[in-house]
Amino acid sequence: MRQEVKQRVSELTHGFFRGKLRVAPQSVEVGDMEDTLVVRVKGFLAQGERAMMDQPNDRQVIEDYYLRLFDQIAPLMRTGVGEAGPLLKFQTLLDLPKDECVFILTLGKEGEVTWVDSP
């Protein structure tokens, strides 16, 4: 995967966190393997949120909040990958006790026919 795409995705991720959460994450790492980009974001939780991780009900509320919020980053990622290929699938994995999330972007090839099963 071209370095420019990885850099653009990293910048968009930083911008999303600054714009939506008003926080700069400790780190954003973008890796790639074949047709997949993996974006790992560490250190974005507020101090109060980290303190609430011990309570299962509180953790679930925070997790639900972040999953809904992170749905909004998918269109940015579609723009970020640009000509690297169409974004076929976007997944969010949260590990709140570790204060990190992972976005997995599966790309297709331009002009490639893809079949998607309906839920």
Q: How confident is the model at residue 27 (pLDDT cuts 50, 70, 90)?
A: very high
Q: How confident is the model at residue 2 (pLDDT cuts 50, 70, 90)?
A: confident
Mean pLDDT of 50-78: 91
Structural domain containing residue 83 = 3-107
Q: In whole angstroms, how far apart are CA 39 and each of 23, 27, 49, 60, 89?
A: 17, 10, 22, 23, 14
Whether this model's pTM surpasses 0.95: no
Structure letter (DSSP) for residue 12: H
**How many domains does one find in the chain?**
1
Q: Flag whether 36 is in a domain.
A: yes
Mean pLDDT of 95-119: 75
Q: How confident is the model at residue 110 (pLDDT cuts 50, 70, 90)?
A: low
Q: Flag whether 118 is in a domain.
A: no
Under DSSP, is residue 3 helix (H, G, I), strand (E, B) or coil? helix
Q: Flag whether 117 is in a domain.
A: no
